[in-house]
Amino acid sequence: MMRPVLVRRDRVLPATQALGFVVGIVGALVLGAILLLVSDNNPVEVYERMFDSALGGIDSLSRTLERATPLALTGLAVAVAGSMGLWNIGAEGQMMAGATLATGVAMMTDGLSGPLLIAVMLASGVVGGMVLMLGPALARSYLGVSEIITTLMLVYVSIRVVEWLEVGHWKDAGSLGFPRIEEVPAQAALPGLFGRVNIGALIALGLLVVFSLAVSRTAWGYELRLAGSSPNTARYAGVSLRRKILAALLLSGGIAGLAGAVQLTGTEVRLTPGLSNGFGFSGIIVAALALMRPSGVAVVAFVFGAVQVGGQSIQTLGVSSAISTILQAMILFSALAAVVFFNYRVRWAGAASEHSDV
Amino acid sequence: MAAIETDYAVWLRGIEKRFPGVIACDGAELKVRRGTIHALLGENGAGKTTMANVLAGVYRPDAGEVWVNGKRQTFRSPADAIAAGVGMVYQEFRLVPSLTVAENIVLGAASPLLRVVEIEEKVAELSDTYGLAADPSRPVWQLSMGERQRVEILKALWRNASVLVMDEPTAVLTPAEAAELGLTLRAMAVDGRSVIYISHKLDQVVAFCDEATVLRRGKVTATFDDLIDVDLAELAEKMVGASEVGTIKRLKSIQPGHAVLHLNGISARNDRGLPALSDINITVHANEIVGIVGVSGNGQKELAEVIAGLRKPSEGRMILGDQDVSGASPADRYRMGLAYVPEDRLGVGLAPKMSVVDNAVVRSYRSHRRGIFLAASKCIVFCKGLIERFGVRVGRLSHPIAGLSGGNLQKLLLGRELAEQPIMLVAAQPSRGLDVQGVVAIQGHLADQRNNGVGVLLISEDLDELLALADRLLVMFGGRVVGEYGPDVTPRTILGAAMAGRPPQ
């Protein structure tokens, strides 16, 4: 009797990865078509609208890139920790911390010129993210406390802090009693490039290139990969695991914090508890789909952004928001499932045999 | 035909099993009669463990048939094999350390209504029958390796195994424990059960077993229905074929030079915080191989780690060359001329998932830098140099190193350690698990280093290897050096007594 068996690939080729990704998306579209038919929608029309609004023209493209920018930054944040085998689950919280510190600094520094103010706010974003990560990073490197738990818990802490600031110290005097924080100064807005895209996209792209090279080409990146892949070998090679864990986690937190500051100065106008908007959590999926490689994050973030923009646009066709969300989830779920086939291939067992670890 | 099949407790017929790049079994056959102890012999990689795993339901053969007690079986999982009466005791025990002996034995195989007291009574009964002394209420983490093995055997008996497969059962035992194991296995055979005894320790095989099947490169090269009159040399020859074994040429003695390593009063604790080394004083000179003899678990691993700088001693000082390196890091010690081949090759010595090049530069990457970047071209040149100098056979340099065979992994590891002219080499079990060519190559490199002025500390469980290579032998027992012997003049019986903690005065 023939039955399918997963066999681990000897090594993963870029071509198989790309193919797996495409197959995942096509599979999702087929499944989505069934869902749309069942819910009395026309799949062809819906898919056309999705494509048009996400990729069909400069304006659509700019919407996709606007979405992709924070996803690329949070994806990179998760991937930097991931290349050492660490999981930063709390990029969502570090985004809030970054945006909070950037807002605070903007309030304190009056009358700075645009570029200077932007630079100061972005730097504060990095610092804010790092500060929130400091506890988990120290706990992990010195006490072995799982960073998965600590980073996640701090997400809720940081969102509550913003809620508290909204009704407390930072409450906008001119808000007529609404719990609202003052808008950031107009000169803090990130310069636009085209459509809805601002230089935040370039910052994200630049960081992706830098970290991609840093992890794969530098001695520092080699030590990071060695420590992540085989801690005992790293010790033997004279790499300080403690320092590497601290560095990877703090950088990860800093990048996520930067994502918060970019979102604050580029897209939003004020700090709200909803500023992080799920980008931090989505960053985990982005990084996982990119196999924790900074070089893959750009592509995945772009596709992810397109799916979100396209998925939302179909609501104007009368597709309910629930169906649109299910459709987006199905596409991502299929892509994640396809990742399995990056590492495994299917063999029909019967005469053949199963995977072994010999 | 049916009549013949039922005569056998186990009949593995025409077993073929392939793994990526390796043919583990190539039409091998194994016939085990009831009530006998059957040795499955062969070198590492001959296919013994694969055959055992086919019988235990871990692997499904690509071709061939499995018969147990006269019934054709198709095992889909180890649970199927257990249900058919096959019990397997692996080299690495599969016990839950925090559970008691009784709990481990019945885990997954007891009625939920059974009371702990009843279970413990039944376990005690079983232990008595087969001479398997084990206190049912003790937690497993407190037990010695020998006791843990007894728990594994009891586990199989609890599940009514009619066939017991034991993979290298004496590797972790003291000689006395090994002798006891022999009695237990005999009691089981007398009881009508069959034992498959996988090993490459020929003297034990001849002492314990009734019949034998010899495997080489996945094929059966010989079967023996009766081991009483069999010559050890004949068995050895069937195992290794044309190449010679056990006849490594004794190194010519040379005058040792100045001291390169000096351990002064070193004591250290093991991972569990218990004393593992006490007051170790060892000096190794240039042009000298000092062999550490001992049953594993007597402090050898901790000794190697302390020297390499991976374990902090609780007391004592260490001099390397003419410098005190007691507080130096592993990397500093390497820079000062200490090379180290750890016992755990894939896990400490090498990073299995990283590429061949990445692994080749673990020690030297700092010198392949160009600014902040690691110069890929320099790394590749360095790696290719190692490969050529040490005859490593590799595929693509960018592939994960885990794809290399054991011998080639070890050659690359040893080569990497020797690349920058060390003054001292610590090698822990450097030839363990390698095929004959691998062993010869590694031993050759050790001898070359010694002849070229390097001091070598060789920790090995292979007495033949130590007798051939070492200039001096130190016997370790219970974390102490209990004796020093000259390999040319010391009878094995004296070494054996010292290894068992009874050095002749």
* CB–CB contact A217 B369 (8 Å): no
Residues B299-320, mean pLDDT to the nearest whole number: 93
Element housing A269 (H / E): none
pLDDT at B464: 77
Inter-chain contacts counted by CB atoms under 8 A, chains A and B = 86
Residues A278-298, mean pLDDT to the nearest whole number: 90
Residues A182-202, mean pLDDT to the nearest whole number: 89
Sign of CA dihedral B486, B491, B497, B503: negative
A218 touches chain B (CB under 8 A): yes
B59 touches chain A (CB under 8 A): yes
Residue B357, CA atoms < 13 Å, CB-side half-sphere: 17
Q: What distance in Å separates the CA atoms of residue B426 and residue B212, rounded to the nearest whole number?
A: 37
Q: What is the ipTM metric for this complex?
A: 0.81
CATH topology of domain B246-337+422-505: Rossmann fold (3.40.50)
Query: Ranked by mean pLDDT, which of A250-254, B126-130, B209-213, B296-300 comes out on top?
Result: A250-254
Domain boundaries, chain B: 2-230, 246-337+422-505, 349-420
* CA-based nearest residue in chain A for residue B349: A233
Rounded to 10 deg, the angle between the A321-343 and A14-38 helix axes is 150
Q: For residue B24, list chain A residues with Cβ-Cβ distance below 8 A.
A: 358
Model confidence band, residue B9 (pLDDT cutoffs 50, 70, 90): very high
In this predicted structure, the answer to whether residue B265 has a pLDDT above a threshold of 80 is yes
* pLDDT tens profile A161-172: 999 998 888 888
* CB–CB contact A11 B400 (8 Å): yes
How many residues are present in chain A?
358
Residue A290's DSSP bridge partners are none
* CA-based nearest residue in chain A for residue B396: A11
* pLDDT tens profile B10-37: 999 999 987 655 678 889 999 999 999 9
Residue B194's DSSP bridge partners are B163
Give the angle B112-B115-B117 at the CA atoms, nearest 5°. Answer: 150
* CB–CB contact B373 A217 (8 Å): yes
* CB–CB contact A352 B62 (8 Å): yes
pLDDT at A221: 93
Locate all alpha helices (DSSP H) within B191-223, ordered by sequence.
Answer: 202-208
pLDDT at A356: 39
Residue B87's DSSP bridge partners are B164
- Map tokens 């490459």 to a residue: B200
Q: How many CB atoms lie within 10 A of CB A14?
A: 9
Model confidence band, residue A11 (pLDDT cutoffs 50, 70, 90): low
CATH topology of domain B2-230: Rossmann fold (3.40.50)
Give the β-pairing of B63-68 and B8-19.
antiparallel
Helix, strand or coil, per DSSP, at residue A87: coil
Comparing CA positions, the residue from B446, B461, B447 lying closest to residue B293 is B461
Sign of CA dihedral B313, B318, B323, B329: negative
Q: Which residue has the higher pLDDT, A246 or A322?
A: A246
Burial class from Cβ neighbours inside 10 Å (0-12, 13-18, 19+) for residue B272 reads: exposed
Q: Which residues are CB-contacts of A108 (< 8 A; sequence separation ≥ 6)?
A: none
